[in-house]
Chain A
Amino acid sequence: MSLDSKRSTHLPEALREQSAHIQGLARAAGLDFAEIDFRLLDAHDVNGVAAYGGFPTRYPSWRFGMEFERLDKTHQYGLSRIYELVINTEPVVAYLVKTNSHLEQKLVIAHVCGHADFFKHNSWFASTDRGMLARMGEHSQIVRQAMDREGQDCVEALLDRALSLETLIDPYLPLRRHLGADVRSATNPPTFDVLGFLAVHAPIPAWERELLEVVRSEAYYFQPQRMTKIMNEGWASYWHARLLTGGVLSDSEVVDFADCHSGATADSPGRINPYKLGIELFRSAADAGLDIFRLRRVHNDASLIDLLVDAKFVERQKLFLYGQNAKNGRIEVVERDPQRVKAKLMQDLAWGGLPRIELISVSGARELELRHHHDGRDLDLEAARATLLCIEKLWGAPVRLFTRESGEARCLLAQRGETSIEDVEPAA
Chain B
Amino acid sequence: MLRIEADRARFREIVRGRIRADLKRYLSTSELFARRGDRAVSVPIPQIELPRLRFGDNNKSGVGQGSGERGDAVDGEGTATVGSAGEGAAEHALEVEVELDELAAMLGRELELPFIQPRGRHSLLCEGGRFDHIRSRGPDALRHIRRTFKQALKRSVASGEWDPKNPKLVPVRDDFRFRANRPRPLPHSSAVIIHMMDVSGSMGREQKEIVRIQAFWIDTWLRSQYDQIEVLYIVHDAAAMSVDRESFFHLRESGGTKISSAYELCLAQIQTRYRPEDWNIYAFHYSDGDNWSARDTERCMTLLRDELIPRVNQFCYGQVKSAYGSGQFKKDLDESLAREERLVTAAVNDRSDISEAIRAFLGKGR
Contacts and interface: CB of A to CB of B under 8 A. Distances in A.
A binds B: yes
Interface of A: 2-4, 45, 48, 51-52, 56, 60-66, 68-70, 73, 160, 163-164, 166-168, 267-273, 276-277, 317-325, 328-336, 341, 344-345, 348, 354-355, 357, 372, 377-381, 383-387, 389-390, 406
Q: Which of B53, B81, B82, B83 has the most CB of A within 10 A?
A: B53
A331 B80 contact: yes
A163 B50 contact: yes
Closest 3 CB pairs of A and B: A65-B7, A386-B51, A65-B11
Nearest to B67: A318
A390 B51 contact: yes
A210 B14 CA distance: 25
B62 A65 contact: no
A317 B65 contact: yes
14 contacts: A48-B2, A63-B7, A65-B12, A70-B94, A160-B50, A168-B53, A269-B65, A269-B68, A321-B64, A322-B64, A328-B81, A329-B83, A377-B59, A378-B58
B82 A324 contact: yes
Contacts of A271: 62, 64
A163 B52 CA distance: 8
Contact of B3 (A2, A66, A270): A2
Interface string B298-331: 0000000000000000000000000000000000
Given A270-B75, A377-B59, 20 more contacts: A56-B2, A65-B10, A268-B65, A269-B68, A270-B62, A270-B64, A271-B64, A317-B65, A320-B68, A323-B61, A324-B60, A324-B61, A329-B81, A330-B73, A333-B71, A333-B74, A348-B63, A355-B53, A383-B51, A383-B52
Given A66-B48, A66-B94, A333-B72, A267 B4 contact: no
Contacts of A64: 4, 7
A330 B82 contact: yes
B47 interface: yes
B42 to A, nearest CB: 10
Contacts of B7: 51, 60-65, 68
B2 A45 contact: yes
B69 A333 contact: yes
A332 B71 contact: yes
B139 interface: no
A219 B286 CA distance: 58
Contact of B61 (A69, A267, A344, A390): A344
B61 to A, nearest CB: 4
B9 interface: yes
A88 B54 CA distance: 27
B56 interface: yes
Q: Which of B13, B59, B63, B67 has the most CB of A within 10 A?
A: B63
Q: Which of A269, A317, A348, A379 has the most CB of B within 10 A?
A: A269
Contact of B74 (A62, A66, A322, A372): A322
A310 to B, nearest CB: 15
Given A65-B9, A70-B94, A354 B62 contact: no
A381 B8 contact: no
Given A69-B11, A324-B60, A378 B55 contact: yes
Interface string B16-59: 00000000000000000000000000000001101111111111
Nearest to A49: B4
B51 A320 contact: no
Contacts of B60: 323-324, 331
B167 interface: no
Contacts of A336: 70
Interface of B: 1-14, 47-48, 50-76, 78, 80-84, 94-96
Contact of A73 (B54, B84, B94): B94
B65 A273 contact: yes
A332 B10 contact: no
A150 to B, nearest CB: 16
A98 to B, nearest CB: 15
Contact of A56 (B3, B58, B59, B78): B3
Q: Which of B3, B7, B70 has the most CB of A within 10 A?
A: B7
A3 B2 CA distance: 6
A164 B51 CA distance: 6
B11 A167 contact: no
B63 to A, nearest CB: 5
Contacts of A268: 64-66
A68 B8 contact: yes
Nearest to A50: B4
Contacts of B64: 268-272, 319-322, 333
A118 to B, nearest CB: 22
Contacts of A389: 51
B63 A406 contact: no
A351 B8 CA distance: 32
A357 B53 contact: yes
A160 B48 CA distance: 11
A123 to B, nearest CB: 26
Contacts of B50: 63, 160, 163-164
B57 to A, nearest CB: 7
Contacts of B84: 329
A2 B2 contact: yes
Contacts of A60: 3, 6-7, 10
A382 to B, nearest CB: 8
Contacts of A381: 56
A263 to B, nearest CB: 15
A106 B330 CA distance: 75
B82 A329 contact: yes
Given A378-B55, A380-B57, A390-B51, A277 B65 contact: yes
A4 B96 CA distance: 26
A333 B70 CA distance: 5
B82 A269 contact: no
A344 B62 contact: yes
A379 B53 contact: yes
A321 B61 contact: yes
Contacts of B13: 62
B69 A272 contact: no
A267 B65 contact: yes
